[in-house]
Amino acid sequence: MSLMLICDDLMNVNWIQILLNSAVTGSLYLIGAVGLTVTYGLSGFPNFAHAEFLTLGAFIGFWIAEDIGAPLPVAFIVAFLITGIISVLCYRFIFQPLAKKGASTIHLMVASIALGFIIRYSIGAVWSWTPMYFSIKWPSYIVGSVRIAGQWSLLIVVALVLAFSMHLILIKTRIGKAIRASSSNPDLALASGINVGRIILITWFAGAGLAAVAGIFRAVNTQIWPLTGWDIILPIFAVVVLGGIGNYYGAIAAAFIIGLAENVGVVFLTSIGLSTEYRMAIAFIIIVITLIVKPQGLAMLFRRG
């Protein structure tokens, strides 16, 4: 394909639509990744089972909304609560005692992968491995040249509300201040009388709950099967790494940067004749480049986060 043709292709792309899609993708990654980055920062290891929290949330939501027939908001809330509680139990009965026994970071990571397999295959056993689809039909709106699906606008609203309320919690409340203190220096926080153990439990609860919400959105947009969460493990880790581990504001910026990079990347991939499957490779490249160039990610821009 000649360069001229590529340029021609790019000219014909609906860039406003791309920007909107990027915001949607970024919102999904933000909700999915925020729990991972905060627990990673506080507990000191990446919880690879976080992807399974997305999947678990999606299935609980599916069960509530499709099998029981409750309205979607109920599905969101129940999925949030159950996944959060399971996450806290996992931390309390697996990771915390392991860490107390002096397990290395590698051991904790292996344990989290093991936990991921337990959850993933339990889901497979309960709900089977056949992909399923949410039956809810969303209205979609055409504004000018842009198509907006109903679930997209909801997703963006949820992400914005989350971003803003998290900001308020971090800045205004005692818990938020404690989270910030603990993630920047756990020892100091401990010495200053902050109950770091409780803070960690709260972050494991809320982080996994948000992952569940992201999982439902992902499942509504695509399909639901035991790999719903694992399918987007690369961009989620890319958000964590690019944003700077444990850094909430970095994660917001990173989520939207990666959303944009993926959507613009897909346009380029198609125009040079490569498969759009490679959109995941974009997240991978971002991870590798960040770790080589600046392992602390965007965190240096958001010191106080």
The site for another protein (CB under 8 A) is made up of 45-46, 48, 94, 97-98, 101, 103-107, 109-111, 113-118, 120-122, 124-125, 230, 233-234, 237, 241, 275, 277-278, 280-281, 284, 287-288, 291-292, 295
Q: Cβ 185 to another protein, closest distance in Å?
A: 16
| Cβ atoms of 37 and 179 closer than 8 Å | no
Q: Cβ–Cβ contacts within 10 Å for residue 92, how many? A: 14
Q: Cβ 245 to another protein, closest distance in Å?
A: 8
For residues 65 and 123, which CB has a smaller minimum distance to another protein in the complex?
123
For residues 121 and 164, which CB has a smaller minimum distance to another protein in the complex?
121
Q: Cβ 206 to another protein, closest distance in Å?
A: 22
For residues 213 and 234, which CB has a smaller minimum distance to another protein in the complex?
234
Q: Cβ–Cβ contacts within 10 Å for residue 139, how many? A: 9
Residue 44 region by backbone torsions, left for phi larger than 0, else alpha for psi between -120 and 50, else beta: left
Q: Cβ 14 to another protein, closest distance in Å?
A: 25
Q: Cβ 113 to another protein, closest distance in Å?
A: 6
For residues 4 and 106, which CB has a smaller minimum distance to another protein in the complex?
106
Q: Please name the residues in contact with 67: beta carbons below 8 A apart, sequence gap of 6 or more.
A: none
Q: Cβ–Cβ contacts within 10 Å for residue 197, how many? A: 12
Q: Cβ 55 to another protein, closest distance in Å?
A: 14
Q: Cβ 152 to another protein, closest distance in Å?
A: 26
For residues 206 and 234, which CB has a smaller minimum distance to another protein in the complex?
234
Interhelix angle 150-172/174-184, rounded to 10 degrees, is 80
| Cβ atoms of 298 and 250 closer than 8 Å | yes
Closest CA to 33 of 16, 20, 47, 15: 47
- Residue that has been written with the tokens 């026994």 in this structure: 101
For residues 206 and 241, which CB has a smaller minimum distance to another protein in the complex?
241
| Cβ atoms of 162 and 206 closer than 8 Å | no
Q: Report DSSP letters for 136-179, one per residue.
A: PPPPEEEETTEEEEHHHHHHHHHHHHHHHHHHHHHHHSHHHHHH
For residues 151 and 290, which CB has a smaller minimum distance to another protein in the complex?
290
